[in-house]
Amino acid sequence: MRITQRSDEELNNILEPGIYDATVRQAEDCTSKADNEMIKLTLVVFGRNGESRTVFAYLLNAMPKPLKHFCRAVGRINLYEQDLLSAADCCDKSVRVRLGVRPAEGEYEAQNQVKDYLPPGSAPAARPPVVQSQSPPAESGSAPNDADSDVPF
């Protein structure tokens, strides 16, 4: 068997607390353990280094702030105001989320959790770092540096 080594951070599979872009991959109308209607969201959250994580979140009337903020963030505030939001209204929506980390508890490992949904144009989300050349511009008329002469590009 061929093995791909992974660091402890990769195995932990948790993003640092912060603001991230995400997409709602799936949404499902369901009922909570307390018998309340809710929408279960499956979010794909995009990390700083181009990685992505699946995070589950729940929208329910008992938690009005995240519910309203989600509707505003995905352009569905009109459905919120009409008490009409359903899972079908949430699928394939892009959203910016504020992630936190729920500590390990009992048999459950630590995991990311959505703390809030942010409106479009809010604080910038995590982005993969942009690598830029640090080489100084060549002076016109000067000879090439010998250290650069065997660089193939």
Cα separations in angstroms, 23 against 35, 101, 105, 108: 27, 19, 27, 25
CATH of the domain at 95: 2.40.50
Whether 137 is in a domain gets the answer: no
Domain count, the chain: 1
Whether 5 is in a domain gets the answer: no
* 18-31 β-sheet, strand order: 52-60, 37-46, 18-31, 94-102, 111-118
Which residues partner with 39 through β-bridges? 29, 59
Whether 29 is in a domain gets the answer: yes
Whether 76 is in a domain gets the answer: yes
Whether 53 is in a domain gets the answer: yes
Which residues partner with 20 through β-bridges? 97
Write b or e for each residue in 127-142: b if 16 or more Cβ atoms lie within 10 A of its Cβ, otherwise e. Answer: eeeeeeeeeeeeeeee
Whether 8 is in a domain gets the answer: no
Query: What is the rounded distance in angstroms from the CA atom of residue 97 to the CA atom of residue 111?
Result: 15
pLDDT of residue 60: 94
Q: Mean pLDDT of successive 10-residue segments in the chain (153 residues)? A: 71 86 96 94 93 95 95 95 94 95 92 92 60 51 53 51
pLDDT of residue 50: 85
pLDDT of residue 153: 46
pLDDT of residue 99: 96
Show the domain range for 52: 14-118
pLDDT of residue 5: 75
Query: What is the rounded distance in angstroms from the CA atom of residue 27 to the CA atom of residue 30?
Result: 10
Whether 42 is in a domain gets the answer: yes
